[in-house]
Amino acid sequence: MDISTVNSLCYEDFVDTFGNVVEKAPLIAAAVWSYRPFANLSDLEAHISDFIDNLPESGKEGVLRCHPDLAGRDLQRGTLTRESQEEQSQAGMASLSPEETTRMHHLNAEYKRRFGFPFVICAKMSDKAGILRQLNERSGNDLTKERECAINEVKKICCLRLRNLVLSDTRNKL
């Protein structure tokens, strides 16, 4: 769809369409709807980013807690959102060896114990080696720095998901 179609969506259709650009956080789409009309895709992205930035720290952590563990139970059970399933599979999380799976579970558990929310990375922009490396490295951050890193990853995920839904201005001109 193009930006004019986005701007013409009623509230319910907007939330249905964009409710998972931030994983399991339709409230963000609901809040951003009132900023229509959006000038372009970048404007929509900026409003979502600003909304997230203006959340209190507890709200940001709530956004992070909506994300599933990488290569976790939801992936194994097939209960991930369609977007997360696609992203994790593309990054190789669905085809880990038994040893890699055990390592991921251990690292995810340690990370979650340390920070109180799951490890979030834009899987679509990484691969399993990069994910494991980042999980190891970022586990050494303090809470403030890690929350900031994880929120930046949420924004990357959001932008890619938005671009899958909305034709960019350059694609509209082709």
Active site amino acids: 67
144-152 contacts, C-beta under 8 A, 24 or more apart:
146/115, 147/57, 147/60, 147/61, 147/64, 147/115, 147/117, 150/64, 150/117, 150/119, 150/120, 151/52, 151/53, 151/60, 151/63, 151/64
* Structure letter (DSSP) for residue 37: S
Backbone angles phi, psi at 78, to 5 degrees: 75, 25
